[in-house]
Amino acid sequence: MRVLSHLFENNKRWASSIREKDPTFFERLSGQQNPEYLWIGCSDSRVPANQIVGLLPGDIFVHRNVANLVVNGDHNCQSVLQYGVEVLKVRHVIVCGHYGCGGVLAALGQSSLGDLDAWLLHIKEVHSTHRRHLDGLQIPAELHDALCELNIIEQARNVCETRIVQNAWAREQIIDVHAWIYSIRDGILKDLNFTVTSPAEVQPMYANATDSVMKKRTHR
């Protein structure tokens, strides 16, 4: 069991099933990758990028971390973004979080999680930014869902504000930045009304998207 042989068995079956459908699939892909999408998502095991959107290897460049954060100074995320935008020239950057995100839930709590605390501070910041609205939500599940949505919108805006994306837009490279949320209850993705294609759209889209997070909950 030390070598996890069941996973190697799975892998052989998977590779041959792909070859059955498309005999030159791996040969073609081994030449180069040319993905149209960059996915920035949560590490949660229930939110696998390719499967959710039905894409094959080669279709989507992926970065995942706890609670899908895009933090200035995070060399890991910034390197993926830079490579995706400047080398692979992805057409779309998708920030995709999910309801029931453990990172977001932990950021709402008070208990210490060691090394994770510093990371979760970024979500606590999102909470403070929107505190005035979020404090009006009495039901914990509603607060949690709203913060999951707001966190994604904030991170998508962070993508827009990176020098990488700003420079790309300045040289008229076409990149759309999207904010999506996934439901682990039914497997369905939802667009959060944030699709930004130019620097001028960032603030209005952000205002619109964050407004609609609160509106759909306060008008119920």
**Which residues, at least 6 apart from 59, have a Cβ–Cβ distance to it below 8 Å?**
35, 36, 37, 50
Rank residues 10 and 76 by Cβ distance to Co ion and give the closer one. Answer: 76
User: Active-site residue 6, yes or no?
Assistant: no
Q: Quick one: which of 22, 193, 58 has its CA closest to 50?
A: 58
Rank residues 101 and 177 by Cβ distance to Co ion and give the closer one. Answer: 101
Q: Which one of residues 40, 42, 85, 152 is an interface residue with Co ion (CB under 5 A)?
A: 42
Rank residues 18 and 105 by Cβ distance to Co ion and give the closer one. Answer: 105
Q: Quick one: which of 27, 29, 53 has its CA closest to 39?
A: 53
Could you say which of 77, 101, 148, 160 is catalytic? 101
One-letter amino acid at 155 equals Q
User: What's the min distance (Å) between Cβ of 101 and Co ion?
Assistant: 3
Interacting residues with Co ion between 101 and 130 (CB under 5 A): 101
How many residues in the shown chain lie near Co ion by CB under 5 A? 3
**Which residues, at least 6 apart from 175, have a Cβ–Cβ distance to it below 8 Å?**
85, 90, 91, 92, 93, 165, 168, 169, 197
User: What's the min distance (Å) between Cβ of 106 and Co ion?
Assistant: 10
Interface with Co ion (CB under 5 A): 42, 44, 101
- Positions marked active-site: 42, 44, 46, 98, 101
